[in-house]
Chains A and B, each alone.
Chain A
Amino acid sequence: MLLAIKLAYRNLIGAGLRTWLNVLVLSFSFVVIIWIKGIMVGWDHQAKTDMTQYEIAGGQYWQETYDPFDPLTLDISHALIPAEVMPEIEAGDMEPTLLIPGHIFPNGRMQGVTIRGIRSGQSIWKLPTEKLDTVVDAIPAFIGLLMASSNKLETGDLVTIRWRDANGTFDAAEILIVDIFSSNVPGVEAGQVYIPLERLEELTLLEGHATILSYRDPEAPRAELTGWTLKPKEVLTRQVDELIKTKSTAQTILYGILLLLAMLAIFDTQILSIFRRQKEIGTYVALGYTRREVVGLFTVEGTMHAVLAAIAASIYGLPILYWQAKVGWTLPMDASDFGMAMAQTLYPVYTIGLVISTVLLVLITTAVVSYLPSRKIAKMNPTEALRGKLQ
């Protein structure tokens, strides 16, 4: 094996330009595959972090009729906060949120919204709730950037808001936009208006009610609450996993094509090598190699392209990948159009597992592609190979 590596190395370096072209194509595949996979890992990480920080915290209980995909049930989806979680809420490790359907009237238009009652003293999200802790004539409210730009709202704007109270009667008031936040999580921005929880309870006559209970610690064991459905963090982030999985399939096809091109180049080189180097093959056999060993030599030679490519890739690829991880990759389209947590700029994250699996993938594929045409050598007649007359 060691001898095969030594010989293969000499042969490859001796082959010159062709070797370097193959190595270049292969090393390019290395860098692109690692980059694409890194983007996916980075995106997954960013999406989950943003969701945690702006929406789901460490996990949630949903009032049992609450269904984010069914706005018609929203007005009945609330219940009294169970007594057993009150200590946790008082300690600030759980936050009740009350969701009430309503409308706002920005610039004379009517727009359906979800009014979110949230405690101004909360510390489980990065939402600017402290801004709600202010004394103004109108109800202080903040909204997300998506909401602000689609309705042309700015900090300091006064907007009329309308809702129905527990008895079903319409009521209206003015809200004052005290802040606009940006989160990369469309779900917490589009159509959402945040006001202090106690104000919403008053307005709707729903004292002590909530729709969602979000807790801080994702690890702690959670008890079942009657009338509430436990939604652990893994469940709430599952849609991210699924979306990333479908996106990954698309990316896999993309780098599969790239890899295929590189493999075609290697395959072609191997076929050509075996055809052009018949005399050499015959000579190896005459000097005491078995044909199997010659197959091994050619396989090692082909596979070594991938080894050289890995070295080349680490020389020019590392700085590129490092630079990408620093500046990130800005999406050419509007990230919020994705309808899920996705930042406009994604920062690739390269894990050791990712790098190792990529290197193995390319190495094994190259080995297989090098081996397949080389098998032909095992069937060659050495005397004919020596004459160089095989077709």
Chain B
Amino acid sequence: MEIIEIKNLVKRFPMGKGEFTALRGVDLNFGKGEFAGLIGPSGSGKTTLLNIIGSLDVPTEGSVTVLGRAIGKLNQKEAAQLRKESLGFIFQSYNLLQVHTVYENVEFPLLLLKLNVTERKKMIMDALEWVGLTDKVQSKPPQLSGGECQRVAIARAMVKRPSLVLADEPTANLDAANSHNILKMMENLNQELNTTFLFATHDEKVINYLHRKIFLLDGKVDNEEIIRNH
């Protein structure tokens, strides 16, 4: 079963008096448990595509179906529901809540799901164990290194065990060792929990880990490489 189906996706942004076409006819499908990446130069439309899949933006033309839901047709509430229940986001700049502790940051998605405190605690500790941060539970993001911050972000994205994790340049602010560390971690989670991962990147280190590589150029799929099937 496909969890993402993209048909003839076009995305245009208003620009001054005219329009700018960021995606010009993308057709793609992703199945459960994939570890795939959108690769391409700056401005090729990676983030735009990821945002639409993440229901943070809507298609101008064509259709995008994520977990059976048509992105362009969801109202705000339904889109929020989809993100809350099934999607995890990882950002280049971590986007942690600065005044909250590591524990509280990871707890956030579970609070939105209205889970009770014992359920939350167990899931948070599991997630922090996956990323090896059980000893930093009470720290706050300003006290952590970049690598640690991104590990917290991964724990936050994974804690509710979403079907799909979208990661936009997750290693752009990390050194090589931390990048490898984090990718290994995500690869493990992909294997263990069968979570689908979709990256947007132009970082060689990330590209080497991908099981499927989709090359974007000027808002179109230019080429595709499947390294191994999930």
Name the contact of A285 in the complex, choosing from B77, B80, B97 (C-beta under 8 A): B80
Name the contact of A282 in the complex, choosing from B95, B108, B111 (C-beta under 8 A): B95
Name the contact of B84 in the complex, choosing from A7, A287, A386 (C-beta under 8 A): A287
Are B100 and A10 within 8 A (Cβ)? yes
Q: A155: CB under 8 A from chain B?
A: no
Are B108 and A383 within 8 A (Cβ)? no
Q: Shortest CB–CB separation between residue A105 and chain B, in angstroms?
A: 81
Contacts A288-B83, A290-B80; A10 near B111 (Cβ below 8 A): no
Are B109 and A286 within 8 A (Cβ)? no
Are A3 and B95 within 8 A (Cβ)? no
User: B64-87: which residues lie under 8 A (CB-CB) from chain A?
Assistant: 76-77, 79-81, 83-85
Q: Shortest CB–CB separation between residue B42 and chain A, in angstroms?
A: 14
- Enumerate chain B residues within 8 angstroms of A285, measured Cβ to Cβ: 56, 80, 83
Q: Shortest CB–CB separation between residue B155 and chain A, in angstroms?
A: 13
Q: A110: CB under 8 A from chain B?
A: no
Report the separation of the CA atoms of residues A7 and B93 in the bound assembly, to the nearest whole angstrom: 21
Nearest A residue to B48 via CB reads A383
Contacts A280-B97, A286-B56; A3 near B77 (Cβ below 8 A): no
Q: How many A-B residue pairs have CB under 8 A?
A: 68
User: B91-146: which residues lie under 8 A (CB-CB) from chain A?
Assistant: 91, 93, 95, 97-100, 104, 108-109, 111-112
Are B100 and A279 within 8 A (Cβ)? no
Q: B27: CB under 8 A from chain A?
A: no
- Enumerate chain A residues within 8 angstroms of B80, measured Cβ to Cβ: 285, 288-290, 293
Are A3 and B99 within 8 A (Cβ)? no
Report the separation of the CA atoms of residues A11 and B108 in the bound assembly, to the nearest whole angstrom: 13
Task: Indicate with 1 or 0, residue by residue over A148-176, a CB within 8 angstroms of chain B CB atoms.
Answer: 00000000000000000000000000000
Q: A126: CB under 8 A from chain B?
A: no
Are A286 and B93 within 8 A (Cβ)? no
- Enumerate chain B residues within 8 angstroms of A289, measured Cβ to Cβ: 80, 84, 112
Contacts A10-B104, A290-B77, A383-B51; A283 near B56 (Cβ below 8 A): no
Nearest A residue to B86 via CB reads A288
Name the contact of A383 in the complex, choosing from B56, B81, B93, B99 (C-beta under 8 A): B56
Task: Indicate with 1 or 0, residue by residue over A272-292, a CB within 8 angstroms of chain B CB atoms.
Answer: 000000011011011111111
- Enumerate chain A residues within 8 angstroms of B57, measured Cβ to Cβ: 381-383
Task: Indicate with 1 or 0, residue by residue over A285-309, a CB within 8 angstroms of chain B CB atoms.
Answer: 1111111110000000000000000
Are B91 and A386 within 8 A (Cβ)? yes
Q: Shortest CB–CB separation between residue B84 and chain A, in angstroms?
A: 3
Are B54 and A286 within 8 A (Cβ)? yes
Name the contact of B108 in the complex, choosing from A13, A14, A15, A287 (C-beta under 8 A): A287
- Enumerate chain B residues within 8 angstroms of A15, measured Cβ to Cβ: 99
Contacts A11-B99, A280-B95, A386-B95; A287 near B112 (Cβ below 8 A): yes
Nearest B residue to A291 via CB reads B76
Are B112 and A3 within 8 A (Cβ)? yes
Nearest A residue to B78 via CB reads A290
Nearest A residue to B108 via CB reads A287
Name the contact of B83 in the complex, choosing from A287, A381, A383 (C-beta under 8 A): A287
Contacts A10-B104, A383-B56; A286 near B83 (Cβ below 8 A): yes
Q: Shortest CB–CB separation between residue A266 and chain B, in angstroms?
A: 19
The interface on chain B, measured as residues whose beta carbon lies within 8 A of the other chain's beta carbons, has a size of 27
Name the contact of B97 in the complex, choosing from A13, A283, A290, A381 (C-beta under 8 A): A283
Report the separation of the CA atoms of residues A7 and B108 in the bound assembly, to the nearest whole angstrom: 9
Contacts A286-B56, A287-B108; A14 near B76 (Cβ below 8 A): no
Report the separation of the CA atoms of residues A293 and B111 in the bound assembly, to the nearest whole angstrom: 14
Contacts A288-B81, A288-B83; A13 near B99 (Cβ below 8 A): yes
User: A6-20: which residues lie under 8 A (CB-CB) from chain B?
Assistant: 6-7, 10-11, 13-15
- Enumerate chain B residues within 8 angstroms of A286, measured Cβ to Cβ: 54, 56, 83, 89, 95
Are B109 and A287 within 8 A (Cβ)? yes
Task: Indicate with 1 or 0, residue by residue over A360-385, a CB within 8 angstroms of chain B CB atoms.
Answer: 00000000000000000000011100
Report the separation of the CA atoms of residues A291 and B55 in the bound assembly, to the nearest whole angstrom: 13
Max chain B Cβ within 10 angstroms of own Cβ: one of A11, A279, A285, A381: A285
- Enumerate chain B residues within 8 angstroms of A293, measured Cβ to Cβ: 80
Nearest A residue to B80 via CB reads A290
- Enumerate chain A residues within 8 angstroms of B54, measured Cβ to Cβ: 286
Nearest A residue to B50 via CB reads A383
Q: Shortest CB–CB separation between residue A208 and chain B, in angstroms?
A: 84
Q: Shortest CB–CB separation between residue A390 and chain B, in angstroms?
A: 14
- Enumerate chain A residues within 8 angstroms of B91, measured Cβ to Cβ: 283, 386
Report the separation of the CA atoms of residues A13 and B97 in the bound assembly, to the nearest whole angstrom: 13
Nearest B residue to A385 via CB reads B56
Name the contact of A288 in the complex, choosing from B84, B93, B99, B104 (C-beta under 8 A): B84
Nearest B residue to A283 via CB reads B95
Q: Shortest CB–CB separation between residue A292 and chain B, in angstroms?
A: 7
Q: Shortest CB–CB separation between residue B113 and chain A, in angstroms?
A: 8
Are A3 and B111 within 8 A (Cβ)? yes
- Enumerate chain A residues within 8 angstroms of B156, measured Cβ to Cβ: 287
- Enumerate chain A residues within 8 angstroms of B111, measured Cβ to Cβ: 3, 6-7
In addition to A13-B99, A282-B95, 18 A-B residue pairs with Cβ atoms within 8 Å of each other are A10-B97, A10-B99, A14-B100, A279-B93, A280-B95, A283-B91, A286-B54, A286-B56, A286-B83, A287-B83, A287-B112, A288-B80, A290-B76, A292-B76, A293-B80, A382-B57, A386-B56, A386-B91
Which positions in A face B, CB cutoff 8 Å? 3, 6-7, 10-11, 13-15, 279-280, 282-283, 285-293, 381-383, 386
9 nearest CB pairs, A to B: A14-B99, A288-B84, A290-B80, A283-B95, A286-B89, A288-B83, A382-B56, A383-B51, A288-B112
